[in-house]
Structure 1
Amino acid sequence: MARMGNREALLDGAKKCLLEKGYDRTTVRDIATAANVSMAAIGYHYGSREALLQQALFKSLEDWDAGLQAQLSRLDEPKGPKRFAAVWHLLIEHIRANPTMWTASFELFMQARRSPELAAVYAQGQPGATAAMAALATGEVEEDIDAETIRTVGAVQLALVSGVVMQWMSNPDTAPGPDEIAAGLRGLVASIDA
């Protein structure tokens, strides 16, 4: 097996630090120690701590999202209440099992608020996120979903997932489960249709 180069070791070390310490608390020394390379190697290979951490964060989130999508794709419930409950049970279990990655996804958003370059990259990924959320909500293949459904259902599902994740991360004892989420959505629809 080939020995990992400094660039790859730094990326792996940064990913490890993100999981252990988070974005803001990870230092250059932490990354260099985790990668077993000099601190100067970060500047040489990535330009800055921020550039390396952003790349590590995107790569970690891509890997994490691929795993979540694979789990979701195995759901065999047809569209309807049973699928809704199955999706939310899976998402909530994923939140419980992967709190550091969910936190990292929020940290990415906060970093994008401070960095125009990162904000541009983040914005480029937004259409894919809303399309994935539309597929999650409808049970349809992402490529078959029309633009209007992506713009409406996908965007609202993304907002719902983000809000539920924040509740589960801040106070899991009072966070809503699938039944409460469904009841809340029914209540919202009733208030719109009233």
Structure 2
Amino acid sequence: MGHREDLLDGAKRCLLEKGFVRTTARDIVKESGTNLASIGYHYGSKDALLVEAYVSLVQEVGDHYGPGWGAGGATQAPAGSLERFREVWSNIIRSVPESRAIWLLSFELILQGDRVPEVRKLLAATQEEGRSGIVPLFTDVPEADLDAETVDTEGRLYQTLLQGLMVQWLFDPGTATDADQLTEGLRRVIAAVEQARGR
């Protein structure tokens, strides 16, 4: 493994232990066994490295969101169905214990983003990437084949649901919305729309 990978791994560990605000370049160097000059050479800045480390952590957790994960990987409901909707949200909720620290990082940025403006700016630029990454879980359309309108509408819907759900599960898992409730809510919305069309 080279310095670039060592830095990324060290930055991930620092983020999970200290968060964005408290992680210094020296912390990352100590954790990765590299040197300060390596950060600038490979990533341009400490902030850029922290953003890449955070995105990498989110992607690793996101690998568990897809259909077929969990429950032995035996099921995979049809794309676009309510069953697929429920399956993906069940997987997301199932991953909460292992992804809790990563979601807390997200909320650290919301609450203390003024202290790390460059990090917040860089992460804001990755929002579209997040939206395009979540849509295929529900549709089976490869990310590269998604059109901008789908990403900007369906992607935003799923991203908003994900963020709201994580707030609930971080705040109070005992009262947080589960996949069945979310799916039943969507089913009722669809039924009401269909009923309104039939009038």
TM-score (ref. length: structure 1)? 0.72
Pairs within 5 Å for 1:11-50:
11-37=8-34, 42=39, 48-50=45-47
CA contact (8 A) 2:39 2:49 kept: yes
- Asked if residue 68 in structure 1 is aligned to residue 61 in structure 2, the reply is no
- Asked if residue 135 in structure 1 is aligned to residue 136 in structure 2, the reply is yes
User: Unaligned regions of 5+ residues in structure 1, if any?
Assistant: none
Q: Which amino acid aligns with 1:129?
A: G
State the Cα distance separating 1:76 from its structure 2 match: 1.7
Match of 2:117 among 111, 115, 118: 115
In the alignment, the residues of structure 2 paired with residue 130 and residue 113 of structure 1 have an alpha-carbon distance, to the nearest angstrom, of 26
State the Cα distance separating 1:91 from its structure 2 match: 0.6
User: Unaligned regions of 5+ residues in structure 2, if any?
Assistant: 70-74
Q: State how many pairs are aligned.
A: 188
State the Cα distance separating 1:43 from its structure 2 match: 6.0
Q: Which residue of 2 aligns with 1:156?
A: 157
In the alignment, the residues of structure 1 paired with residue 39 and residue 121 of structure 2 have an alpha-carbon distance, to the nearest angstrom, of 22
In the alignment, the residues of structure 2 paired with residue 144 and residue 6 of structure 1 have an alpha-carbon distance, to the nearest angstrom, of 34
CA RMSD of aligned residues (A): 3.6
Alpha carbons of 1:126 and 1:14: their partners in 2 closer, same or farther (altered >3 Å)?
closer
Alpha carbons of 1:131 and 1:29: their partners in 2 closer, same or farther (altered >3 Å)?
closer
Q: Which residue of 2 aligns with 1:83?
A: 84
Give a deviation string over 1:107-140, Cα, whole Å, max 9, x none: 56665995368625632x3333223333233344
In the alignment, the residues of structure 2 paired with residue 112 and residue 136 of structure 1 have an alpha-carbon distance, to the nearest angstrom, of 33
Structure having greater relative contact order (Cα 8 Å, sep ≥ 6) = 2
State the Cα distance separating 1:175 from its structure 2 match: 0.6
